A = this chain, B = another copy of it.
Amino acid sequence: MRILVVEDDRILGEAISQRIGRMGHGLDLAQTGNQANQMLGVQEYDLILLDLNLPDMTGNQILQNLRKKQSNTPVIILTARDEIKDRIELLDLGADDYMAKPVDFGELEARCRALLRRSQGQAQNTIEYGNVCLDLQACTVTVAGVLIELKQREFRLLEVFIGHTGRVLSKETLIEHIYNFNENPNPSVIEIYVARLRKSLQDSDIHIRTIRGLGYLLEKHHD
């Protein structure tokens, strides 16, 4: 999962980044509205943490901008202001949640988990597809109830696949979801991880179909 943190306060931004980073997600930090908009133009995110008070524009504008593009990435607002009116407006604008500063990191993590879960169309902390079950918190995977070992990257890849079932995912798209902005690996690394994932999933009833020239597609097995 790939998360954008928009926060001008360097200290707070870094603190959040660290915390989120430890959850094992790809993460970008924008310190101005402009920067944020640029990044949003280039990259699709799975979650956005948005500070309202930015030096160059209000979080409001960023949010409007985002929704205008038909994006439905979940957004959590961070705000020092606690006037209910504003919050309502933001929720109506398309924010999904908000938190008042000072931020309680534990709660922030929980809310991130809840929203990420929802945007994947699941309301549980484990995602199941076929006989494969991901535990997002423990970062473990079971196939038919048997625990299997996945490396971090493999796990994240599988997470993206299961979160986008029914969609063909190109190597580029997959890279965007499991790498940071400043990382530019060769798209062929995806081939490697797909290969490893396939090996790990060979006893499961799902498999990754390659669609030549387009990407990969997660499917249930039907022999």
Contact residues of A with B, CB < 8 Å? 67, 70-75, 84, 87-88, 91-92, 94-97, 104, 106-107, 110-111, 113-115, 117-119, 121-125, 135, 137-139, 152, 166-168, 211-214, 217
Contacts and interface: CB of A to CB of B under 8 A. Distances in A.
Nearest to A63: B123
Contact of A167 (B75, B114, B138, B214): B138
B138 A110 contact: no
Nearest to A168: B139
Contacts of A124: 67, 70, 72, 94
A72 to B, nearest CB: 4
Nearest to A71: B123
A32 to B, nearest CB: 23
Given A72-B121, A87-B107, A211 B94 contact: no
B91 A114 contact: yes
Count of this chain's copies in the oligomeric assembly = 2
Contacts of A121: 72, 122
A123 B166 contact: no
7 A-B pairs with least C-beta separation: A72-B123, A91-B110, A88-B110, A152-B213, A72-B121, A91-B114, A137-B167
22 contacts: A72-B118, A72-B121, A74-B118, A84-B104, A87-B107, A87-B110, A91-B110, A92-B114, A92-B137, A94-B114, A95-B114, A96-B115, A96-B118, A96-B123, A97-B114, A118-B118, A118-B119, A137-B166, A137-B167, A139-B168, A152-B211, A152-B213
